Chain A
Amino acid sequence: MTNSIGEIENAKAMLVIGSNTTDAHPVLGYRMRMAKRKGAALIVADPRRIELAEDADVFLQLRPGTNEALINGLINVIITEDLMDRDFIAARTEGYEAMAAAVAKYTPEYVAEITGVAADDIRKAARLYGGAETAAIFYTMGVTQHTSGTATVLTIANLAMLTGNMGKPSGGVNPLRGQNNVQGACDMGALPPVYTAYQAVANEENRAKFGQAWGAELSATPGLTVTEIMDGAMEGKVKALYIMGENPMLTDANLHHVAEALAKVEFLVVQDIFLTETAAKAHVVLPAAAFAEKSGTFSNTERRVQLLNQAVTPPGEAKADWEILQDLAQKLGFNWQYAEPWDIFDEITSLTPSYGGISYERLYVEGGLQWPCPTPEHPGTPILHGATFTRGKGLFSPVEYTPPAELTDGDYPLVLTTGRNLYHYHSGSMTHRSKAIEAHSPEELAQINLEDAARMGICDGDLVKLSSRRGELKTRVQLTDMVPPGVVFMTFHYKDAAVNLLTNDKLDPVAKIPELKVCAVKMEKSAS
């Protein structure tokens, strides 16, 4: 997030796109509704009539995979009706002309054809967003898990810059990070091309700095991303795979491919708290401690680094991941001597400028700090891009609409889109083992529209077979008007109805994110 959670309730206008906030980030959903009760305008854009849509001033129920066209449409109206912030554009940005030229054809009428949203609703939304004193944009995987994900993110940035909504309280562009420490994992360099805080591996100085600190010769060869790792395993290029606390056997697109890849790897180590679907395939399984059984830090979606305190000891011989990694490093001949997580944190801060001023002492006393926090005196940064952007001027990017990689046809006439529900979490290795949650929400209920159901003679609770070009599964259904006709929604929480057997692993070319939000499927009634 460019901005902070505490600012949400004071927003004047909010555009929530591709985020089922009340289910996936419930506390942020509460804050959005608080803002709404205080008079903020709320625009919700989603293929499903999600809970937040009930509170919306305008609900834009767009076809799955048409986000960038919709945003371009909003920009088109804002330019046509002169709702943009000319001073901001002049002082803080470049590339406006090219972007404006690109969106010229995205008139509300043209966008209505692509998205299925009424042209007047597009106008109304643009006026609410563009006319507000400050307006914030929130999005999640509904934007990024598309082959056009990066394009959509760019045009979202266009929209925010166009209206001068950057660097202001209750404004900004706010991707809501899905997992408790996904921000931290990125910050810590758990990404192929970068060390901590996005310091590029390709840069020789960075390699020298980290190499010296770690006492090792570091490789300049670019690393592989998750999907490339799986492909590499298939081709025999990746021989040993070490998975810590992930369950790609349920969360990745096109599971058959993942299963084949994992079966091909010569040596698979999985470190986890449960024998997950992935761990069950491993050659060695290492038992790890869970969040309450260790100390350390997490970094949340607003870049706030917060302290975890150990409450209980790990079960049996399970150990904290950092202890396991240290033991292994020592066996590999590396002289690692960390007595406590804070020794590791001190090393991190010494190598990571944006974390440089953070310490356990400060976290304990000040209760969390938002990076960038470069010096011990620095108060942390609740709002990014205050006076300048990271690259100096903000760059507008012309963005064109491209349809999803897989479209419906006679064989696969329905669009399948995926997401979360409120109760379960991700692959569910934790929530399925929570008694109350599992009792309340024990099985997948795919959402299908009443019209589709009536046509196919399907009743609430029936079992159906869903198939795509990649696989098939059986699931029970709920009939609902949350999804429009022609669209099926499933979560990826349940292994008995593992939706990623069906999803498309076609990637966004830049971010390498698979198109989990759109694929073509067919549905048949199933007897058992």
Chain B
Amino acid sequence: MVKLTINGRNIEVEAGTTILQAAEKMGVFVPTFCYDPQLSLVGACRMCVVEVEGARALVASCCTPAGEGMVVQTDTERVLTARRANLSLLLANHPLDCLTCEKAGNCRLQDYCYLYGIEKSEFSGEQKEFNLDDTNPFFVRDMNKCILCGLCVRTCHEINGAGAIEFIKRGFDSKVTPAFDDPLEKSSCVFCGMCTDVCPVGALTPRQGMGKGRSWDLDKVKTICPYCGTGCGLELFVKDNVVMGVQGDVDNPVNRGQTCVKGHFGVDFLSSPERLTTPLIRKDGVLVEASWTEALDLVASKLKEVKGTEIAGLASARVTNEENYLFQKLLRMLGTNSIDHCARL
């Protein structure tokens, strides 16, 4: 264990804990762009700098281990000046279209500029002019908004393993893109969408829900993916009774926020116009709309007409435990054990 002081308060942490983790443990806020607990540390964005007594320069708290007896200050004037300069530099080169940006309200650049009072950049210079990559149906990439934190690159390599995107070029021309600067459709991208989840700014925007709701209008509901047996936790974004978007649920122990393309971009079938909305009964060979009473009366009478053992049912690997339980209960109460489902398929 290591003892240190952060903003005048003592804390004891396990050896190997970083200053950032120690601060988080105490509930002390430290801003970050490039840090993610599931990814390798790069210490690139310099937002998390803090002052350590005795150290000449400010240190990046995300990749500096807490040392015995360390005295750390997270918000001295020197720290704040460094963060402001940092933000100012990023802003010099960032479109200021927050009025229409999908990320507004959920953007770390916006939040930190608000927090540190950066209204506009003190630097002026060239603006990036990259083309939008809107060639795939899942999300749009606007590299003019990218702040080069590298979270998407590391997610793609370290979490997914697809390795579809990289940094190319240096300095002002630096950008994140697939090999040969191709559109994503031509790369090894598998459209898991995890890069869009980690992007702290508005550079990677899922199409579903674009222009349909501000981030603060969306309710978040945690549930479980309807597709494969992994059972990933998903967070659904809901507005006006419609699911507008999906992210992996980082608190879910199964997937820790990770998803594939189906979970991330494949649940808009919910609002498909083809959904069944009323019971249907076959009359003269065609299925016609019917009331619940009519439909269930018919089903009940038909089930009563035949012997229990002449009834069979297929339950479903797609509905809940409760529903499967009731299904087999109902059929078995009617006198049949012929209940199966497609576990074999």
Contact = CB atoms under 8 A, between A and B. Distances in A.
Contacts of A286: 279, 295-296, 299
A239 B231 contact: no
A440 B299 CA distance: 40
A312 B229 contact: no
B226 interface: yes
Contacts of B76: none
Contacts of B268: 433-436
Given A5-B230, A436-B265, A296 B320 contact: yes
Interface stretch (A113-121, A157-165, A183-191): A183-191
Q: Quick one: which of A185, A226, A338 has the most chain B CB within 10 A?
A: A185
B26 interface: no
Contact of A269 (B221, B299, B321, B345): B299
A253 to B, nearest CB: 8
Given A178-B228, A232-B338, A292 B344 contact: no
Given A242-B313, A273-B276, A345 B337 contact: no
Contact of A25 (B228, B272, B277): B228
A56 interface: no
Size category of the binding interface on chain A: 35 or more
Nearest to B231: A300
Contacts of A37: 158, 161
B191 interface: yes
B78 interface: no
B325 interface: yes
Given A302-B254, A430-B266, A345 B322 contact: yes
A317 B292 contact: yes
A509 to B, nearest CB: 13
Q: Quick one: which of B208, B272, B339 has the most chain A CB within 10 A?
A: B339
B161 A225 contact: no
Contacts of B290: 284
B306 A246 contact: no
A192 interface: yes
Q: Quick one: which of B272, B318, B337 has the most chain A CB within 10 A?
A: B318
B298 interface: yes
Contact of B266 (A290, A312, A344, A425): A425
Interface string A405-431: 000000000000000001101000111
A27 B259 contact: yes
Interface residues of B, number: 111
Contacts, number: 468
A315 B274 CA distance: 10
Given A184-B324, A244-B327, A292-B243, A226 B344 contact: yes
Contact of B296 (A216, A222, A306, A328): A328
Interface string B58-72: 000000000000000
Q: Quick one: which of A238, A246, A512, A514 has the most chain B CB within 10 A?
A: A246
A49 to B, nearest CB: 15
B261 A304 contact: no
B282 to A, nearest CB: 5
B227 interface: yes
21 contacts: A25-B229, A26-B228, A178-B345, A179-B227, A180-B226, A184-B324, A185-B319, A187-B321, A219-B332, A225-B340, A243-B313, A243-B314, A267-B303, A282-B287, A298-B231, A298-B320, A300-B229, A301-B230, A321-B320, A437-B261, A513-B345
